[in-house]
């Protein structure tokens, strides 16, 4: 998209808008034409996205998420198939370093027995890192390429899945479901409910303890719900802010862009890696808490 043909506001809005596929209702006025029946189509504007409602799909975020997940699965699978007893080299060495790093993190934090935690932590770390890394691609390269392939100069195309709260909440809610599952599995329904109602305030007096239940439940329930919310919003907020800065830099004259873009990109590498690491560590911590019977 040529910056000099549009306003700064429309440029920013365009880059922050997803490619959305959804259903427009019958009677909707679309580009001066009234739809005679409900139609599944790609949104042409933010207003159409709102009209499509909940049952719509951010095609670009989903596409890049699956694509990057497939890349991760393919290359790690190939390394695992070709592993040998000798010293690894090249990409195999990098994969072994990542696996060893994640495995040590799990051993240091997770104190129960569950063979699923290490693979889950590895998947979370690498997948989130790959999605975050898309933020380092110049903001106009892939969107302009998508516009040319689609033949539409106004084609929406976001390439950083973690700047979409639907993706970050999808990840965090999946982790949250596993937290609930293992909390109930390890502690039983009664133990899980006791954890929500008998802490942090307790008393040996039964009547007083019963009076504490509403306050305990409120505090513990808020703490429980805060886990997926904090996971999702922390990742989304940091990557969204980073993407916004790249977009603002792209609005500047060309000779200034590279002066600011390079140092911010170098600094952003740390953010990309750090956010993936934090997400992984929190997942391990939350799963450890879910497995603690005396928690």
Rounded Cα–Cα distance for residues 51 and 25 (Å): 8
Q: Can you give the residue range of the structural domain that contains 140?
A: 60-291
Tokens (6 digits) for 55 = 């049952």
Whether 19 is in a domain gets the answer no
Please give the pLDDT value at position 221: 95
Q: What is the pLDDT of residues 207-258, one digit of tens each?
A: 899 999 999 999 999 999 999 999 999 999 999 999 999 999 999 988 888 8
Rounded Cα–Cα distance for residues 197 and 212 (Å): 8
The DSSP secondary-structure symbol of 3 reads G
Rounded Cα–Cα distance for residues 2 and 129 (Å): 30
Whether 250 is in a domain gets the answer yes
Residue 272: Cβ within 10 Å count: 24
Please give the pLDDT value at position 1: 42
What residue spans of 32-164 are helical by DSSP H? 46-52, 59-81, 91-109, 117-133, 141-150
158 has pLDDT over 80: yes
3 has pLDDT over 50: no
Residue 201: Cβ within 10 Å count: 13
Whether 234 is in a domain gets the answer yes
Whether 181 is in a domain gets the answer yes
Whether 48 is in a domain gets the answer no
112 has pLDDT over 90: yes
Residues making up the chain, counted from first to last:
295
Whether 281 is in a domain gets the answer yes
Tokens (6 digits) for 178 = 């596993």
Catalytic residues: 230, 234, 238
User: What's the distance, Cα to Cα, between the start and end of the chain in Å?
Assistant: 54
Q: What is the pLDDT of residues 68-104, one digit of tens each?
A: 999 999 999 999 888 766 666 778 889 999 999 999 9
- How many domains would you assign to the chain? 1
136 has pLDDT over 50: yes
Give the CA radius of gyration of the chain: 24
Rounded Cα–Cα distance for residues 168 and 281 (Å): 16
Q: What is the pLDDT of residues 250-263, one digit of tens each?
A: 999 888 888 898 89
Whether 55 is in a domain gets the answer no
Average pLDDT, the chain: 91
Whether 196 is in a domain gets the answer yes
Please give the pLDDT value at position 87: 65
Rounded Cα–Cα distance for residues 174 and 169 (Å): 8
Q: Which of 23-32, 100-109, 145-154, 202-211 has the largest mean confidence? A: 100-109
**Which residue do the tokens 């920013």 mark?**
12
Enter the pTM of the model: 0.92
């Amino acid at each position: 998209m040529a910056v000099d043909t549009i306003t700064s506001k429309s440029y920013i809005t365009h880059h922050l808008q997803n490619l959305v596929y959804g259903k427009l209702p019958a009677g909707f006025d679309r580009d001066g034409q009234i739809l005679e029946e409900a139609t599944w189509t790609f949104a042409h504007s933010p207003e159409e996205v709102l009209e499509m409602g909940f049952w719509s799909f951010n095609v670009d975020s989903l596409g890049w998420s699956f694509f990057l997940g497939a890349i991760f699965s393919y290359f790690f699978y190939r390394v695992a198939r070709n592993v040998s007893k000798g010293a690894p080299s090249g990409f195999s060495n990098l994969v072994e370093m990542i696996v060893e790093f994640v495995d040590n993190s799990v051993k240091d934090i997770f104190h129960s027995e569950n063979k699923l935690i290490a693979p889950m932590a590895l998947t979370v770390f690498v997948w989130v890192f790959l999605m975050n890394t898309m933020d380092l691609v110049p903001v106009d390269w892939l969107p302009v390429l998508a516009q040319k392939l689609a033949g539409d100069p106004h084609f929406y195309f976001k390439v950083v899945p973690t700047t979409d709260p639907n993706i970050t909440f999808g990840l965090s809610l999946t982790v949250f479901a596993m937290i609930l599952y293992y909390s109930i599995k390890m502690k039983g329904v009664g133990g899980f409910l006791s954890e929500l109602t008998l802490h942090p305030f307790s008393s040996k007096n039964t009547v007083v303890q019963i009076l504490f239940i509403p306050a305990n439940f409120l505090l513990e329930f808020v703490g429980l719900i805060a886990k997926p919310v904090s996971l999702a919003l922390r990742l989304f907020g940091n990557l969204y802010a980073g993407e916004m800065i790249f977009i603002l830099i792209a609005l500047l004259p060309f000779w200034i862009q590279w002066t600011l873009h390079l140092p911010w990109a170098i600094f952003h590498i740390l953010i990309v890696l750090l956010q993936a690491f934090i997400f992984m560590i929190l997942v391990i911590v939350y799963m450890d808490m879910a497995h603690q019977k005396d928690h």
